[in-house]
Structure 1
Amino acid sequence: MKLRRPRRPRQFRLADSAQQIVGGFLLAGPFVVTEEVWTLAGNMSDWQALGTVIVVFGIGYGALYAADATRDAEDEQDVAGVPVRFISLMIVSFGSVALLALLLDAPDTFLGDDQTTRTVAETTFRAVSVGSVFSVVGAATADSLFAKNGASNGD
């Protein structure tokens, strides 16, 4: 006897992105305003920053599709073969950290005025990649938790 696993609706809604945003901002905030993150980012190489970005993508995909048995990437809406939910998760994960960093003026606060524009941009990218490791966890968790609650309520 083969058991069928329950499926969520294929439709990706704006509310799903809103849930991701809540989780992404919740965990991104503390890392954007921590001097240690900016010091770490200043000492990272380009390869380490790229590796961190790959880790964020891996965590996001794993949290959405490997850790959640009720969700299947192939059953969801996609753009060029990439699920819209995953695209949204990556935009939220990196975007929430970048937005908070800029709104709170973190680059100027932690890097000072003696840095070149290129150095500030590179260090900011690296700091965003570090913060996104935590933001993606919050965004994916919120997406999964709220989706389960919504599915049980008939939404």
Structure 2
Amino acid sequence: MKLRRPRRPRDFRPADSAQQIVGGFLLAGPFVVTEEVWTLAASMNLFQAVGTVIVVFGIGYGALYTADTTRDADDEREVAGIPLRFISLMIVSFGAVTVLALLLDAPDTFIRDAKSTREVAKTTFKAISVGSVFSVVGAATADSIFAKNG
């Protein structure tokens, strides 16, 4: 006798994005305003930042569809073959860090030796990639935990 694992409804609701936003902002906040993150970002090269972005995508996908065995990517609505829930998770993860960094004026506060706007933008991108590692964990966890209660 084969037991079927329970599945959540296919519908991806606005409440799901709201849950992701709460989790994403919750864990992103402390890292956006930490000088060490900005110092680390300034010392990273662009390949390391892109690698960090890839790690964020991997953590997000793994948390949504591998760690949570009640969810299956094939059962969800898709945009261009990518699950809508995953797209939302990535927007929230990177978006929460970006919004907080700009709202709290972190680039101007922590980037002192930049010689150009381009350098500020590059360091800000790298800091966002670092902060998103933590934001994606919070967003995916909130999505998974609250979805079980909804």
Q: TM-score range by the shorter chain?
A: over 0.9
Secondary structure of the residue that 1:19 maps to in structure 2? Answer: helix
| Alpha-carbon distance change, 84 to 138 in structure 1, aligned in 2, over 3 angstroms | same
TM-score (norm 2): 0.98
What's 2:53 paired with? 53
Shift of 1:115: 3.0
Structure 2 counterparts to residues 1-155 of structure 1, below 5 A = 1-112=1-112, 114-150=114-150
Q: Deviations over 1:54-82 (max 9, x none)?
A: 00000000000000110000000000100
Secondary structure of the residue that 2:71 maps to in structure 1? Answer: coil
Q: Distance in 2 between matches of 1:96 and 1:131?
A: 9
Shift of 1:133: 0.1
Question: What runs of 5+ residues in structure 2 fail to find an aligned partner?
Answer: none
Secondary structure of the residue that 1:96 maps to in structure 2? Answer: helix
Q: Distance in 2 between matches of 1:111 and 1:120?
A: 7
Question: How many residues are treated as equivalent by the alignment?
Answer: 150
Structure 1 residue runs of 4 or more that deviate by more than 6 Å after TM superposition:
none
Q: Deviations over 1:21-65 (max 9, x none)?
A: 000000000000000000000000111001000000000000000
Shift of 1:7: 0.7
RMSD: 0.8
Q: Deviations over 1:80-113 (max 9, x none)?
A: 1000000000000000000000000000000027
Q: Distance in 1 between matches of 2:96 and 2:75?
A: 27
Secondary structure of the residue that 2:3 maps to in structure 1? Answer: coil
Question: What runs of 5+ residues in structure 1 fail to find an aligned partner?
Answer: 151-155
Q: Distance in 2 between matches of 1:65 and 1:51?
A: 21
Q: Distance in 2 between matches of 1:22 and 1:114?
A: 33
Q: Distance in 1 between matches of 2:130 and 2:94?
A: 10
Over the matched positions of the two proteins, sequence identity in percent amounts to 81
Q: Distance in 2 between matches of 1:115 and 1:40?
A: 18
Q: Distance in 2 between matches of 1:115 and 1:65?
A: 43
Q: Distance in 1 between matches of 2:139 and 2:129?
A: 15
Question: Aligned letter for 1:104?
Answer: L
Shift of 1:114: 4.6
